[in-house]
Amino acid sequence: MIAFVSGTVAALAPDAAVVEVGGVGMAVQCTPNTLSALRLGRPAKLHTSLVVREDSLTLYGFADDDERQVFELLQTASGVGPRLAQAMLAVHSPDALRRAVATGDEKALTAVPGIGKKGAQKLLLELKDRLGEPLGAPAVGAPVSSGWRDQLHAALIGLGYATREADEAVAAVTPQAEAAGGTPQVGRLLKAALQTLNRAR
């Protein structure tokens, strides 16, 4: 198994990165949150999980080992493949998923594209004793962080967009971020920002 890849970021796309390792470009599927921390031409280390199918070998990459472990644990539930597990981690952090399962929060799971009410109920039952307890306590009444703007802007620049385009995309998703309350999820905002940029082109 390939436990991690470490090298220079050679390319970035909305759902993947190419990391050059010893002269070989490794294509790694990543969540928007993970991609937002990568920069073209800069060194990066991604914890990985290799998914083997009859017709393909797909490498999934994560910011840390905890995220990778949760990705693999999610797939032990029936009906959860790598794409759905990655979608769950694109919407929720590992701790948010643990909290959702620990508290039986159906609503949190149905926020993931591809999971309906029945699917959420089934997942809550199956994952109850598998994900473990949340590692950190949720922040109560946390103020809206302005740090998300810088992270989002940097992620868009890293994906190759011009500064002006990044500024416009950040401005376009600001109402959505403020409406969310608490600390906005950069991964979700990056998806929304990319959609506004694609419409503008």
Domain extents in the chain: 4-62, 65-127, 147-200
Tell how strand 24-29 and strand 56-62 pair up.
Answer: parallel
**Inter-residue contact 74 to 80 (CB < 8 Å):** yes
Confidence band of 141 (pLDDT split at 50, 70, 90): very low
**Fold of the CATH domain 4-62:** OB fold (Dihydrolipoamide Acetyltransferase, E2P) (2.40.50)
Q: Is the model's pLDDT at 47 over the cut of 90?
A: yes
**Inter-residue contact 177 to 144 (CB < 8 Å):** yes
CA of 197: how far to CAs of 22, 147, 184, 194, in Å? 34, 21, 20, 5
Q: Rounded mean pLDDT of 90-108? A: 90
For 147-200, the fitting CATH number among 3.40.190, 1.10.8, 2.60.120, 1.20.1250 is 1.10.8
For 65-127, the fitting CATH number among 3.40.50.2000, 3.40.50.1820, 3.40.640.10, 1.10.150.20 is 1.10.150.20
* Strand locations in 54-192 (E): 56-62
Would you tell me the crossing angle of helices 117-127 and 94-103 to the nearest 10 degrees? Answer: 90
pLDDT score of 143: 38
Query: What is the Cα 115 distance to its own chain's centre?
Result: 16
Q: What are 115-131's pLDDT values in tens digits?
A: 999 999 999 999 988 88
Would you tell me the crossing angle of helices 94-103 and 65-74 to the nearest 10 degrees? Answer: 40
Average per-residue pLDDT in the chain?
85
**Domains 4-62 and 147-200 equal at CATH topology level:** no
Q: Is the model's pLDDT at 102 over the cut of 50?
A: yes
Confidence band of 140 (pLDDT split at 50, 70, 90): very low
